[in-house]
Amino acid sequence: MFDNWEELENSLKECKRCKLCTNRTNIVFGTGNKQASIMFIGEGPGADEDLQGEPFVGKAGKLMNMAFDALAINRKEVYIANIVKCRPPGNRNPEQDEATACLDYLRNQVILVKPKIIVLLGSVALKNILGQEYGITASRGKWIEKRGIWYMPTWHPAALLRDETKKIDFIKDLKLVIEKYKQILNN
Ligand code: URA
């Protein structure tokens, strides 16, 4: 574990911990406020993210940005990262060995950011952070508190592109996040 961002980012630069290193253009480390109260965790970079080196800049990211705008969430004020930092080919889900190899980096990011709230975007984030026993359909929209961090599982933004009805849930869940954030600020 590293106690500063520079060393952590340097430790990743030549990462070959899993097979995803062979096809990557860029490592997608994370973006946003490094002291954010709210952190978002997705699955892994897609083609646009791989090219630009930033999470959620493609179609799903644009949809997430629209939701942020609608709810007055400033993307620069939250921290956004992924379970895996290199693109899985063909946008498949990360395989378990890939997620496991990469998780230490994310754990280190969480330790450095010290978020009060973590939004888990989709099943891959939920299962890798809270445990394989969790399912996104049953868990979304419900708070789970663990070791002083409030977790809110919700749909992955890409799921909203496939099923419009999930947009309502997504907005509802983000509203719960804002409410909780305000409660925490007032305590
Ligand atoms: N999907 C993710 O899970 N993460 C990204 O950064 C982009 C798309």
Half-sphere exposure of 100 (CA within 13 A, CB side): 5
* Nearest atom in ligand 1 to 122's CA: 3
* Tens digit of each residue's pLDDT, the chain (187 residues): 999 999 999 999 999 999 999 999 999 999 999 999 999 999 999 999 999 999 999 999 999 999 999 999 999 999 999 999 999 999 899 999 999 999 999 999 999 999 999 999 999 999 999 999 999 999 999 999 999 999 999 999 999 999 999 999 999 999 999 999 999 999 8
82 lines ligand 1 (CB under 6 A): yes
Alpha-helical runs (H) found in 114-187: 123-130, 136-139, 157-162, 166-186
Residue 46 CA, ligand 1 centroid: distance in Å:
6
Give pTM, 2 decimals: 0.98
